[in-house]
Structure 1
Amino acid sequence: MKKIYLGAAYYPEMWRENELETDIARCKKLSINCLRVGEFAWGKMEPKEDEFEFEWLIRVVDQLYENGISTVMCTPTATPPRWLLNQYPETRMMMHDLIRADVSSRCHTCKTSSVMREKNRIIVTEMAKVFAGHKGIVGWQIDNEIYPYSEGCYCEQCKSAFRRYLKEKFGSIEKLNRAWGMTRWSLSYDTFEAIEPPYPGQWKHPSLRKAWRDFHYGQIKTYVEEQAEILHGYGCENVGTDMMAHNSMSYYDINEKLDVVQYNHYDAAERLPCNAFSYDFLRSVKDRPFWVMETQVGWNGSEYAEGGYRPVGNCYANTWLPMAKGAEMNLYWLFRTHPNGHELGHGALFSPAGRAYRVSEEVQKAAKEFEKCGEFLTNTRIRSKIALHYSSTAHNSYDCAPLLKGFDYRETLIQKYYAAFRHYNVDVIDTAHSLEGYEVVISPFLSTADENGLKERMLEWIKKGGTWIAGPMTDIMDANVMRYTEAPYSFLEELAGVYVKYQKPVANEIFTAQWTNDGECAVGMCYDAYECNEGTRSLARYVGGEFSPLSVITEKKVGKGKVILTGSVISHGDLLRLINKPPIAEASKNVILTERTGEECGIIAVETQNQRGYLVLDNEYTDLITGRIFSGKTDIYPYEVLVLRK
């Protein structure tokens, strides 16, 4: 859109209408240029069935636009009004105790209910008729943080739809029993009608648990797409749905027919460096700037404040980091703390009394800097030669069957792999993503590698010159959470030219390894030991423990490229040794670097750990924020941001 947007969620239905003018003045004081409205206001839009009242909201959008403030309009389907939920109780999700959800908060609808979907279509259509084409509206948000809460809905409609989903997927109950291995413990089903969903607190089959998740994610996908189709039909642009930090519900699937990836996060201050992982993932989903729809200003909270203390400057750096990584919008939750209700303890830009919190000064500072740097941000892109796989299938498979005690797939990727690349441009991608343009792809813990045509695409990409660093625990099970029985991997053993001699999924301090040429090679978490076939060379071997002297890292040339197989989690330094590519620049570990190219070129540096750091520049750069010229070694202060144009 060639513009940077900074703002917050705003709930005009909470306030007297004559307060809008004062809130607009507050926006202007902070240089805020965008507000998000409407997401919980269905009750005021349709106070009685089929009686719609949008005049109040039209006045809000009009006044914002007249004052240079854009609007993101939200569909309110996360909070149907009480009259609807009571008149049509089948629209309320049924909890696992088989009791309908109370009309007490939000996100409590059944995504299968035909009545709920019809009511959604009606309200979204009426909104589109009124607001489509309004010059003040820059985009749309569908629903809010949509997800199968409480393990999903257990109503009879959902159960029946789940069974139909399984029948369509497998064709016969015999095929399902084989795919899930149900002969074990005599669990085989006689019919699809005999299948019950997994209930919390029971030791349920991993394949059943994952299938239940996959079903609900599919329901949510169509639930969102129905609304998007209506909005697109009326010419609405930049339609998305705001999702949370994990890829359990596939970002690629949900956003397939949407226009812009929207994201919410509420991480503690010390997690700021980890947020970059999400941004590098979000940017890749649609290959266009993403939108941060919610993040905390000062503190999180519901009935009470929580989330820990945030040092001075943390909000400022949290505002800048997504923009450095390719966002074009960053909105806080929220503009003004609610005076009552479920979240009256949450932080905001302004208190219920309309007084600015201290942290709002950091927002104002960032906003003014975006005005200075806006042209550079919108005229440059992030191009990566390195990609890291982050798979929705693997996320759910490991959630249902972790194999390693206490294993957290996403956190392992962030800490053990992504953190090594704070000074590199890296795309975080799912398996459906194209491999074109990458020189190196890293795929640790990619449990199912033979999906979305990845096996065939990866082979062609390697032959053309790509380097695939695979493992550990990659290509070890299918999408039904079934381990392979012909070999430990479905195809990776043959492709890498190895024989997997031993495996041990138990972390220990006994196993050690050494590079074939020189030096220690750190290993941990899990261990595969390889015998190299002809044409495959050993890069590192076990030297301590029962697997000595078998290989832990191997390399095989395939066409113009190569496959590097790692049987264990290695250190950041060892991983960078395999990558063998220079960073954007030398810098301290607390500094995240992003290289931007396009009509202009440069580097954005963000200090993320409230410490002094440094950056070494090999050319002369101008900081667009301060106008200062930098070259050579440069000090960076706690939570400082440098926007360096070459």
Structure 2
Amino acid sequence: MNVLSSICYGGDYNPEQWPEEIWYEDAKLMQKAGVNLVSLGIFSWSKIEPSDGVFDFEWLDKVIDILYDHGVYINLGTATATTPAWFVKKYPDSLPIDESGVILSFGSRQHYCPNHPQLITHIKRLVRAIAERYKNHPALKMWHVNNEYACHVSKCFCENCAVAFRKWLKERYKTIDELNERWGTNFWGQRYNHWDEINPPRKAPTFINPSQELDYYRFMNDSILKLFLTEKEILRDVTPDIPVSTNFMGSFKPLNYFQWAQHVDIVTWDSYPDPREGLPIQHAMMNDLMRSLRKGQPFILMEQVTSHVNWRDINVPKPPGVMRLWSYATIARGADGIMFFQWRQSRAGAEKFHGAMVPHFLNENNRIYREVTQLGQELKKLDCLVGSRIKAEVAIIFDWENWWAVELSSKPHNKLRYCR
């Protein structure tokens, strides 16, 4: 499924961080750089719904119209990546809890339990409001659901999850005797006689039952996937012809992307190889893996960085020409789109030192923006590549559930690794 007839080029755009006059400047700079698609509204829940049930779309309407007038289409976020402060205040038990019982607080992102009932209720209302608002806008070309699912909270161990886990186990094993047999609970006297005796694999004196641990991987993967499917169902109902996706993260351990890929219309993913490592062999392999998830269908590189990230011990910028080289290498391995995080470098917040297509100090001689513009103009000449497929001559077997099982805490030796 092709999002555009040309190679998608652009990045995450966060206009709510900037005054309105900057929106017009951004649109002109995008036009000059050859940008044709931006991801918009990913972290905008608190801006779109400033209080419970009260929606404000005026600012987003204006941004989308400005971009469309400058030839830029929209990969519209569903804004569910971060719950607002008012939601957390109203439902404090929506905050996730780690295996040691520590509550993960508001003030970062992705601070939600995937099995909280009110989270699901509010997500449904928000996503339907956004979809109904923009279903007929000609700028809308793709849906960006949530963002990097499970990146920071891949497992929650709260009581909501305990209840949902027991239900999941009942559906999987049918009887408590079957669960005891499959988990081998007679070892260390772990036998269960009632479903409500079972809890998530929280912090314990020593090794947790490995079968319980493995099932919790499966359960959390399914719980988070259910969140995605909840949104997708609404989007498909309101906008049946608009492709739906969410950004994967290569060989990200907590989520089984082969399972997830069955439910997206196009695979999109985020890649941040370290420039210090030279030729990014793993990046090449991950492009191949992403292409394989939907049996060779072209994918979109949804995020990379123009220069440097802000979260490594040492954040080395890409040398001149490397961003362009790695972008073309990605197209050669099956990409129909080259996107970045983000369009304009933030002036505040946790990622203000993360590189962008438009850096803090922009002038006509800035190397980063020159390279961005060069690549954008070059990609316009490659429309013939959109939708093309690659015939692989070598196969590597990769399986997420095997990865989970191999690296459980009780294993043959502590240096056993499935994927590094």
Taking structure 2 as the reference length, what is the TM-score of the superposition?
A: 0.91
Give the Cα–Cα distance (whole angstroms) in 2 for the partners of residues 363 and 404 of structure 1: 47
Q: Higher Cα Rg: structure 1 or 2? A: 1
1:367 equivalent to 2:376? Answer: yes
Q: SS at 1:256's partner residue?
A: helix
Hey, what does 1:297 align to over in structure 2?
A: 306
Give the Cα–Cα distance (whole angstroms) in 1 for the partners of residues 349 and 184 of structure 2: 48
Q: CA deviation at 1:241?
A: 0.9
Q: CA deviation at 1:307?
A: 3.6
Hey, what does 1:432 align to over in structure 2?
A: none
Q: SS at 2:59's partner residue?
A: helix
1:206 equivalent to 2:214? Answer: no
Unpaired runs of at least 5, structure 2? none
Judge conservation of contact 2:334–2:388 (CA < 8 Å) in 1: no
Paired AA for residue 154 in structure 1: F
Paired AA for residue 397 in structure 2: H
1:259 equivalent to 2:258? Answer: no
Hey, what does 1:20 align to over in structure 2?
A: 23
Q: 2:126 aligns with which of 123, 128, 132?
A: 123
Q: Which has the higher strand share?
A: 1
Q: 1:331 aligns with which of 320, 331, 339?
A: 339
Q: Which has the higher helix share?
A: 2
Q: CA deviation at 1:351?
A: 2.5
Give the Cα–Cα distance (whole angstroms) in 2 for the partners of residues 11 and 379 of structure 1: 29
Q: SS at 2:280's partner residue?
A: helix
Query: Aligned runs of 1:419-498 on 2, under 5 Å?
Result: none
Judge conservation of contact 1:255–1:261 (CA < 8 Å) in 2: yes
Residues 1:151 and 1:197: Cα distance change in structure 2 (over 3 Å): farther
Give the Cα–Cα distance (whole angstroms) in 2 for the partners of residues 309 and 405 of structure 1: 34
Hey, what does 1:224 align to over in structure 2?
A: 228
Judge conservation of contact 1:145–1:242 (CA < 8 Å) in 2: yes
Judge conservation of contact 2:201–2:213 (CA < 8 Å) in 1: yes
Give the Cα–Cα distance (whole angstroms) in 2 for the partners of residues 215 and 355 of structure 1: 50
Judge conservation of contact 1:315–1:359 (CA < 8 Å) in 2: no
Give the Cα–Cα distance (whole angstroms) in 1 for the partners of residues 348 and 151 of structure 2: 27
Q: Residues 274-319 of structure 1, C-alpha deviation per residue, up to 9 Å, x if partnerless?
A: 21111112112224221221112111115x8844342222211221
1:319 equivalent to 2:327? Answer: yes
Hey, what does 2:399 align to over in structure 1?
A: 391
Q: 1:240 aligns with which of 227, 242, 245?
A: 245
Give the Cα–Cα distance (whole angstroms) in 2 for the partners of residues 112 and 83 of structure 1: 19
Q: CA deviation at 1:379?
A: 5.7
Hey, what does 1:559 align to over in structure 2?
A: none
Q: Residues 623-646 of structure 1, C-alpha deviation per residue, up to 9 Å, x if partnerless?
A: xxxxxxxxxxxxxxxxxxxxxxxx
Q: Residues 91-148 of structure 1, C-alpha deviation per residue, up to 9 Å, x if partnerless?
A: 2222334343211111111111110001000010000011113221210110011117
Give the Cα–Cα distance (whole angstroms) in 1 for the partners of residues 280 and 54 of structure 2: 45
Hey, what does 1:406 align to over in structure 2?
A: 415
Residues 1:118 and 1:176: Cα distance change in structure 2 (over 3 Å): same
Hey, what does 2:82 align to over in structure 1?
A: 79
Hey, what does 1:631 align to over in structure 2?
A: none
Q: CA deviation at 1:227?
A: 0.3
Unpaired runs of at least 5, structure 1? 412-646
Q: SS at 2:305's partner residue?
A: coil
Identity, in percent, stands at 26
Give the Cα–Cα distance (whole angstroms) in 1 for the partners of residues 324 and 195 of structure 2: 54
Give the Cα–Cα distance (whole angstroms) in 2 for the partners of residues 163 and 379 of structure 1: 44
Q: CA deviation at 1:360?
A: 3.1
Give the Cα–Cα distance (whole angstroms) in 1 for the partners of residues 362 and 370 of structure 2: 15
Q: CA deviation at 1:239?
A: 0.5
Q: SS at 2:284's partner residue?
A: helix
Give the structure, 1 or 2, with the largest relative contact order (CA under 8 Å, sep 6 or more).
2
Q: SS at 2:283's partner residue?
A: helix
Judge conservation of contact 1:221–1:253 (CA < 8 Å) in 2: no
Judge conservation of contact 2:300–2:337 (CA < 8 Å) in 1: yes
Residues 1:84 and 1:336: Cα distance change in structure 2 (over 3 Å): same
Judge conservation of contact 1:8–1:331 (CA < 8 Å) in 2: yes
Give the Cα–Cα distance (whole angstroms) in 1 for the partners of residues 29 and 355 of structure 2: 16
Hey, what does 1:61 align to over in structure 2?
A: 64
Hey, what does 2:219 align to over in structure 1?
A: 215
Q: Residues 164-202 of structure 1, C-alpha deviation per residue, up to 9 Å, x if partnerless?
A: 211221122222222222222233233322222223575
Residues 1:80 and 1:355: Cα distance change in structure 2 (over 3 Å): farther
Q: CA deviation at 1:64?
A: 0.9
Hey, what does 1:577 align to over in structure 2?
A: none
Hey, what does 1:189 align to over in structure 2?
A: 192
Q: CA deviation at 1:359?
A: 2.8
Q: CA deviation at 1:354?
A: 4.5
Residues 1:204 and 1:125: Cα distance change in structure 2 (over 3 Å): same
Taking structure 1 as the reference length, what is the TM-score of the superposition?
A: 0.60
Residues 1:321 and 1:156: Cα distance change in structure 2 (over 3 Å): same
1:49 equivalent to 2:79? Answer: no
Q: 1:347 aligns with which of 347, 352, 355?
A: 355
Hey, what does 1:435 align to over in structure 2?
A: none
Give the Cα–Cα distance (whole angstroms) in 2 for the partners of residues 22 and 87 of structure 1: 39
Q: CA deviation at 1:265?
A: 1.9
